[in-house]
C-alpha cells in the first residue's frame, strides 16, 4: 500500500504546476458559482460575443471531442505505444463515467431551464446545435481536462504544464459560451477528467509487467528513424 501511495503522490508532486493552476481556476469558478444565480454566467459571457470569440470557442470545443482525442492519441502512440495504451483507457473510462452520471442526474441544459425572456435576449453561435438534455457533467470538459492533464504527465517543462491547464480551462469555458452547459457542469467535468487520468496513470505505473514489457515501450518513430540511418 505504501508503494502505491508513493506512486500516487509522486504523480501529484511532479505535476504540481498543472494542478496548482487548475486549483486556482477551479476556485475562481466556485467563487463565481457561490455568489451568482445559475445561468448568470451564460448571460455574462454572452455579452462578449463577437466573430473572433465565436470561432475561437467553437473550435476550442471541437478539439475536446472524441474524434480529435482519437487522432491526438494515435499521433502520441506512434512515438511510444504506452501513450496510446494509457490514453485509450483514460478516455474510455472517463467517457463512460461521464455518461453514467449524465443519465443519473438527467439535468436539463441552459436552453431547457432558463426563462424564455432571458433566452430571447441571447445571441447564439451560428452553426452550433444547442442541446437540451444531460447537462451534468460536461463531457467535453471531462475530455478537455483529461487530454491536457495527460499531456502534462508526459511533459517535463513546468511552464508548458501551466499552459495546458489554461488551455483546458478555455476549452471548458467554450461550453458555456456555446450555450451548452452551466459553469458547474464544466467544473464537475474538469474534476472528473483529471481524477480519472491520475488514477489510470497511477494504476498502470504500478503494474511492473506492463511497464517493463516491450509492447508497452514500442516506438514506431524510433524504428523508422533507425531504418533511415541504415
pLDDT tens-digit readout, 123-163: 888 888 888 898 999 999 999 999 999 888 888 899 999 99
pLDDT tens-digit readout, 209-218: 777 788 788 8
**Does 86 have pLDDT greater than 60?**
yes
CA distance linking residue 80 with residue 83, whole number of Å: 6
* Cα dist from 35 to 31, 32, 136, whole Å: 6, 5, 20
CA distance linking residue 52 with residue 71, whole number of Å: 26
The pLDDT > 70 percentage for the chain reads 93
**Which domain range does residue 55 map to?**
2-229
* Cα dist from 212 to 15, 31, 63, 162, 204, whole Å: 23, 45, 32, 30, 11
90: closest CA among 135, 16, 52, 145? 145
- Ranking 25-29, 82-86, 105-109, 161-165 by mean pLDDT, the lowest is 82-86
Rounded to an integer, what is the distance from CA 223 to the centroid of its chain? 32
- Do 191 and 60 form a contact (C-beta atoms < 8 A)? no
**Does 10 have pLDDT greater than 80?**
no
Reported as a pLDDT band with limits 50, 70 and 90, residue 39 is confident
Peptide bond into 113 cis (omega under 30): no
**Does 4 have pLDDT greater than 70?**
no
Q: How many domains does the chain have?
A: 1
pTM, full prediction:
0.89
**Does 1 have pLDDT greater than 60?**
no
* Cα dist from 209 to 78, 113, 131, 152, 214, whole Å: 21, 51, 44, 24, 10
Amino acid at each position: 500500500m505504501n508503494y502505491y501511495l508513493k506512486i500516487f503522490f509522486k504523480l501529484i508532486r511532479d505535476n504540481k504546476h498543472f494542478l496548482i493552476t487548475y486549483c486556482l481556476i477551479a476556485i475562481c469558478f466556485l467563487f463565481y458559482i457561490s455568489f451568482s444565480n445559475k445561468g448568470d454566467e451564460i448571460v455574462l459571457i454572452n455579452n462578449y460575443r463577437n466573430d473572433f470569440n465565436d470561432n475561437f470557442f467553437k473550435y476550442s470545443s471541437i478539439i475536446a471531442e472524441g474524434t480529435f482525442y482519437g487522432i491526438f492519441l494515435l499521433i502520441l502512440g506512434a512515438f511510444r505505444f504506452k501513450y496510446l495504451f494509457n490514453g485509450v483507457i483514460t478516455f474510455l473510462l472517463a467517457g463512460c463515467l461521464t455518461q453514467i452520471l449524465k443519465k443519473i442526474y438527467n439535468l436539463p441544459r441552459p436552453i431547457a431551464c432558463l426563462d424564455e425572456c432571458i433566452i430571447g435576449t441571447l445571441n447564439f453561435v451560428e452553426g452550433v446545435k444547442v442541446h437540451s438534455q444531460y447537462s451534468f457533467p460536461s463531457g467535453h470538459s471531462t475530455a478537455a481536462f483529461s487530454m491536457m492533464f495527460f499531456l502534462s504527465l508526459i511533459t517535463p517543462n513546468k511552464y508548458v504544464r501551466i499552459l495546458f491547464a489554461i488551455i483546458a480551462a478555455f476549452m471548458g469555458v467554450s461550453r458555456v459560451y456555446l450555450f451548452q452547459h452551466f459553469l458547474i457542469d464544466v467544473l464537475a467535468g474538469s474534476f472528473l477528467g483529471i481524477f480519472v487520468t491520475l488514477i489510470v496513470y497511477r494504476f498502470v505505473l504500478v503494474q511492473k509487467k506492463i511497464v517493463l514489457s516491450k509492447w508497452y515501450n514500442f516506438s514506431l518513430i524510433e524504428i523508422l528513424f533507425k531504418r533511415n540511418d541504415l
